[in-house]
Chains A and B, each alone.
Chain A
Amino acid sequence: MKIFDVIGFALSNFLRRKARSALTVLGVIIGTAAVVIMLSIGIGMNKGFEDQLSSWGSLKEISVSEKYGTYNEETDEYEENTSRVPLDDITLDDIKALDHVQAVKPGIYGYGAYLIKDGKEKCSQGGIETVDAATMADFEYEILIGRLLNEDDVGTTNFVMSYNIPFNFYNPRELGENEWFAPVYTGKNDTELPFDPLDENIKYQFTWWYGYGEQPMDFSRPRIVLEDAKCVGVLVQDKASVENYNQDYDFSIYMDGKGYRDMNDRLQKNRNKYYGIPEDEASTGTVYFVNGVNVADNTVEGRETVYDYLTVLVDDTDEVIEVSKEIMDLGLEASSQMDTLEQVQEQTKFLRTILGAIGAVAFFVAAISIANTMVMSIYERTREIGIMKVIGCKLGDIRGMFLVEAAIIGVTGGVLGVGLSYLMSMLVNKLASGGAMEMFGIYSSESAISIIPFWLDIVAIILATVVGVISGLYPAIRATRLSALEAIKNE
């Protein structure tokens, strides 16, 4: 028999019992739609988490810090790392040499340096965050006015402000009697900046002294030297990045790492001079205490720590975990949003499994319904099948007719089911818009609760077809086993 004729027979049988075929197809439609919807919610959930995490920081970034020691779970003791790999330029180059590393941001917590405007207003909110001016553009900074730092800014004190900085300048002498701190203002994206930060006439300076300007000057001491600096850009309002998660919004001032280190050296010298501390007694570098022990010296080959942290930009999200491992192999601590994402995905796996199982049950019911319909149809057509066998229809063709009929039910149900799932998905998203994601602990996400990617459609239709064929397998084999003689005898 020609395959075309086999299909023709199957189709005419499918169309012969319209009501029954329609009901069976309906079962498959519901099964397919259930699977697609359940999976789409799982996908929507994941997307929601991803969005939320990436709003906290890029999924392509890895935060690297030094490894001071490890907590030994067996002995319940903290074990100090006596050959610590410090964050210095050697480590920086080692990391830059790794595959898939696009850029590395050298981070220093720039405490102690404060921005002063026109010699009288200060901004005590803005901490300096160091970047590599040459690669600043690689990271997710979005400029509002002016420009980001670039190669020309390497080694300079040129800086970029986050959006909230201009709102927080105040004159300490104008504070009230018992006011010690000025309130913090968070700018809104639609408000105008209080002044033009890029205005050439504004004079920006940095100082090391926390109390500068708050008290009358002590003229018996050397003059405080203020560092002149230039603002080249302002960023758009942004949620706090990983590095300053203690605040809701970004309050950083971005400066080139080298430029900052040089400036800091000058400021320190000036401070020592101010307090009359001799050069050789002055502390250099950072002092770290862990469990009351100074661990600053426990580094390999006596190398010195230069950076507080490194932010590594990976060129591909899928490589983040791998690069993290490689960095850890270098003897450093590495963490990324991808770790969190993997954890969260692990945690929500159960929920997604349940959703999938609900869909699978619906599909299973549909499969049983297909099998039932086919068996019924074989009962009804026993005589016909017998006649066909007697007059020379090959067994394979009889089996083929039933399998194709089951496949037709599957495909039809699959295609219509995918159509229905789009409608349901729209409905779910409409009903759930605003707030439903909070059910899953996702607060900051704008993403839809149900997302149907195109591959899911294709997979669902193929699945429905395969399930149809599998459900038709038993009835089809039954049809071929049927005794032709018995079939034509019964009347």
Chain B
Amino acid sequence: MAEKVVPTAKPVIVIKGLTKIFTLGKEKVAALNGIDLEIFPTEIICLLGTSGSGKSTLLNMMAGLEKPTKGSVTIYGERIDKMSERKLALFRQKNMGFVFQSYNLLPNLTAIDNVSLPLAFAGVRRKVRTKRAKQMLKLCGLGKRMKHKPTQMSGGQQQRVGIARAFVATPKIVFADEPTGNLDTHTTIEIMEMMVRMARENKQTLVIVTHDIEIAAYADKIYHIIDGRISAVEDNRDKQIIPASSTSAEPEAEQQKNEDDKPSIRSADDEISGILENFSIETEDKSENNTEEE
């Protein structure tokens, strides 16, 4: 499925009549009320809404973390809402990356190990995945924090590790739920630009959840969500914030370094795709073995 060539016209994610009703005792809370939505390849979209409007619920359902009460979620032609836990794990491993508001790094692992985690789950050899994780961390401006554990890093640094982890296996889709919710304005800009730039360069689909219009400004398309419904769809391409060249994402400390030393996204990307060719073959093998076993 990962190999399937998707024509630009065909949507990556198709959501139809998605409804989620939470039952708390006798009370019923309708978090989502019949959402219809199509997301196309390489699109950067934003789900914008106030607190409690149901943005996170929608995102979780797209990722298969929660089952809908009604309606369907189809990604690459596969019904996410009908998938078994096992298949979902594999599907997420191959197609999805996640950036969380609270970073969700494993506390006992170093930055490198955290970033290489998705590759480890996919069965990539330690040497290969460590090399790849180091490249990712450098791209995210954490060349000097590789051996640090999450508790030894600031929130912004932790989120960079989180982004590196989400993008390390070049998933087709990256989900980000309030990725800058815990960060100050300056860092928010750095983080947003980094994510958008990466998604663009790798031609990935990026789904961002936020209540902040400033952040929504980075998206191609903004879905306004009120009380579990899409109230408006806004094409943002003309007023969109387009991140400056790659250098802007580098923190000051890194910028003082010698220009030659600095990894450019392009050259690093070539290397990455080289590694990833091997990697995707490996995951394919793995998944086949896996389904046979189970």
A binding-site residues for B, Cβ under 8 Å:
1-2, 4-5, 12, 16, 383-384, 387-397, 480, 484-485, 488, 491
Contact = CB atoms under 8 A, between A and B. Distances in A.
Contact of B92 (A5, A392, A396, A397): A392
B60 A485 contact: yes
B65 A484 contact: yes
Interface stretch (B32-40, B83-91, B272-280): B83-91
B51 to A, nearest CB: 15
B90 A392 contact: yes
Contacts, number: 69
Q: How large is the interface on B (under 10, 10 to 19, 20 to 34, 35 or more residues)?
A: 20 to 34
A491 B107 CA distance: 13
Given A12-B108, A388-B117, A394 B65 contact: no
B122 interface: yes
A392 B106 CA distance: 14
B93 A392 contact: yes
Contact of B118 (A4, A384, A391, A396): A391
Nearest to A491: B102
Nearest to A483: B65
Given A389-B89, A392-B89, A488 B104 contact: yes
- Interface-centre pick from B66, B85, B100, B125 (highest chain A CB count, 10 A): B85
A391 B98 contact: yes
A394 B106 contact: no
Contacts of B107: 384
B293 A391 contact: no
Contact of A394 (B60, B89, B104, B126): B89
17 contacts: A2-B125, A384-B107, A387-B105, A387-B106, A388-B121, A389-B89, A390-B63, A390-B65, A390-B98, A391-B97, A391-B121, A392-B90, A396-B86, A396-B293, A397-B121, A480-B85, A485-B66
A19 to B, nearest CB: 16
Given A391-B98, A392-B94, A394-B290, A16 B121 contact: no
A264 B7 CA distance: 116
A384 B90 CA distance: 18
A268 to B, nearest CB: 87
B294 interface: yes
- Interface-centre pick from B86, B92, B102, B165 (highest chain A CB count, 10 A): B92
- Interface-centre pick from A4, A387, A394, A395 (highest chain B CB count, 10 A): A394
Contacts of B290: 394, 396
Contacts of B117: 388, 391
Contact of A393 (B97, B121, B294): B121
A125 B89 CA distance: 91
Interface in B102-129: 102, 104-108, 117-118, 120-123, 125-126
A145 to B, nearest CB: 74
B123 A392 contact: no
A390 B121 contact: no
